[in-house]
Structure 1
């Protein structure tokens, strides 16, 4: 026989004094001595009686309380404890309400050890910070789908293709990070968004670089003796990237060898060996001159603290009216090697710090071609200080090697 229900009316709820009043089927209306009124569901689970709060009146109306009571009584009839089931559902809901910004920051934190300088330069995080988080940062990660991602990246998908590609890559990493945390996310969302966005029209643009024949003239023009000019001279002479050069510490130099820590080498996340750079006589002269400016052991200190910024050398060249960038000197060097020397491919690539060959090949080849590179870098250094002769009225430069 069904238990009586719907005993109370809205008029009675307002008139009731302190006490507990049954509406039937386990739903009770409790009026406290202080005047507070709330709904309670009584049920029995595994032989024990429980009372489950359903909210305060009038925030929870009579109709809403009856619907809630019916829902949880169905859970009890299904053999579950209503209170425990509600807590489980609440935990699941909270777990899936993690917003993307929090997930992105956590993913970034967990990857810092893999990034140069623990990611302090911000290049890993900036595509997210600038192009994804402003629109999706406050959105629960479990609710992000391919349409959200498409709409977010569409404005830059073709015009800033490389940046958009990096942003999509970082977002994919964040989604996988969220899944690893146990969150309910669509791991295919980024791939589906890429399909919706279509093939990018933008073609990658190489960093502008000086023709290797013009590098000596530029090198010899760096005669002001400033930290920036000395840094540019050494950047040209060693053909390394900006980061390890800017963070060059005096204890990394031993005679004519500069040893760059493995973690400072781009593209060598899994490397366990440092990278040795042979220093030409000209490079050693530049280092000796720069040592006068050293602070806290760093050869190229910043104006106030730390080291010179990534933009310092680029801005110097820009003020000279140049479109070329410091990183382009690596291309200048590589072209010189290809056009003016007979250097083997593996030696040339190793000189740039590139990883040559597959994992198996590298496991058998233990050399870093130091002696061959020492002769190569000495020849490159000498090329920068020879007499420069201009032909006719043109700007081409002939260098005798």
Structure 2
């Protein structure tokens, strides 16, 4: 065997003319007329001869070629086809070298249809983009473990607890997405990281809300007739969330009913039913005042494009020196319902677009309590604009009778 091995020497390789040169035991150097050269391993398995490329010379040295050849000879001795085994290993390596940044983007794209506005607001992706991908984005997802996740989220685990929770949740989704792609990942990595990080100390704070008795005074102050003020007025009168309010379109309004598409309602992902909002007379007046500002079908357009932002309404309240947030008016309305009306729980929750009861109960309960909600929102409107006592009493009687029915 010694006489048939290592026939070539590193010093003589470069000067050899075009041709095929055996180093022994199946290792050959093929030299071309253009001075290019390739290492080749010849082997026989299952009665068939194969030639396996081992790299270019001089990129792969004689020593390296010999080591590589011996590696694959050992594979052949195990009864495996070296070329097929190398392809299998290459595919396995590629399968497990997907970077987290690529997997996260793919996971986001696959879920866009489930997200409000196809995820254009970026709220699903932003916790990953801001707090996870800068540190872990360039790592192969198969190599990420609980210690990596712990070290990444530890700086915000207690100080920005809600953001950290969302980032951990999104990362878990990405890991499951990677597993669905066939990648070798630790699906328990996020749960293990939570155990390492410990219980979060931060307590979530409720969004500051204006007491319902102070809402009429604030409503009266919205007298400038600007888009922001009109949007805040309609937000108060309808008690809807900011997103559907800001994206309200003229073609969603028919008479005294505003129909919000199902996909624009939080917590109604995949729902097939739209949500109807009864419009009080005051709400209709606000819509009429806002129509001259409409652009591209949107009732509350932004300054340059799109629609008014949530931050715009928040900053308006900031300038008033208020700590309360626009979303808090939903809480103001709910407190008013609880303290001044005898509206049934299901009707009160439906006013806010909340889903109540189990899936079976909801399957049998087909009503959306539109008429009961119409009376309650009319009474709320009366409270907000402070109608005369007589008028308010009449509307109140109607609301109570509707909620009792």
Deviates more, 1:120-129 or 1:35-44: 35-44
Q: CA deviation at 1:114?
A: 0.6
Deviation at 1:34, TM superposition (A): 2.4
Whole-angstrom distance in 2 between the partners of 1:11 and 1:133: 49
Q: Secondary structure at the match of 2:4?
A: coil
1:310 deviation in Å?
2.0
Provide Cα deviations, 1:65-105, integer angstroms capped at 9, x if missing partner: 11211111122222322112212211221121111111111
Do the aligned partners of 1:3 and 1:25 also contact (CA within 8 Å) in 2?
no
Residue 234 of structure 1 corresponds to which residue in structure 2? 234
Query: Structure 1: how far apart are the matches of 2:232 and 2:174?
Result: 37
1:246 offset after TM fit, Å?
0.7
Q: Taking structure 1 as reference, are residues 198 and 222 closer, same or farther at Cα in structure 2, changes over 3 Å only?
A: same
Which residue of the partner structure matches residue 54 of structure 2?
54
Q: Aligned residue for 2:319?
A: 319
Residue ranges of structure 1 left out of the alignment (5+ in a row): 389-399
Structure 2 unmatched runs, 5+:
389-394, 397-405
Helix, strand or coil for the counterpart of 1:73? helix
Contact 1:31 / 1:38 at 8 angstroms: preserved in 2? yes
Residues 2-401 of structure 1: pairs in structure 2 closer than 5 A: 4-386=4-386
Distance in 2 separating the partners of 1:255 and 1:11 = 92
More deviation in 354-363 or 79-88? 79-88
Structure 1 distance, partners of 2:350, 2:14, is 85
Counterpart CA distance in 2 for 1:60 and 1:79 is 26
The separation in 2 between residues aligned to 1:177 and 1:280, in whole angstroms, is: 46
Question: What whole-Å deviation, never above 9, does each CA across 1:109-143 have from its counterpart, x for those lacking one?
Answer: 11111111111111000000100111111111111
Q: 1:3 to 1:196 in 2, by over 3 A?
A: farther
CA–CA distance in structure 2, aligned partners of residues 373 and 29 of structure 1: 86
Distance of 1:367 and 1:260 partners within structure 2: 16
Q: Secondary structure at the match of 1:311?
A: helix
Higher helix share: 2
Separation in 2, partners of 1:378, 1:2: 100
Alpha carbons 1:302, 1:308 under 8 Å: kept = yes
Quick check: 96-105 or 154-163, which moved more?
96-105
CA positional deviation for 1:15: 4.3
TM-score, structure 2 length as denominator? 0.93
For residues 61 and 265 of structure 1, the distance between their equivalents in structure 2, rounded to whole angstroms, comes to: 65
Alpha-carbon deviation of 1:2? 9.0
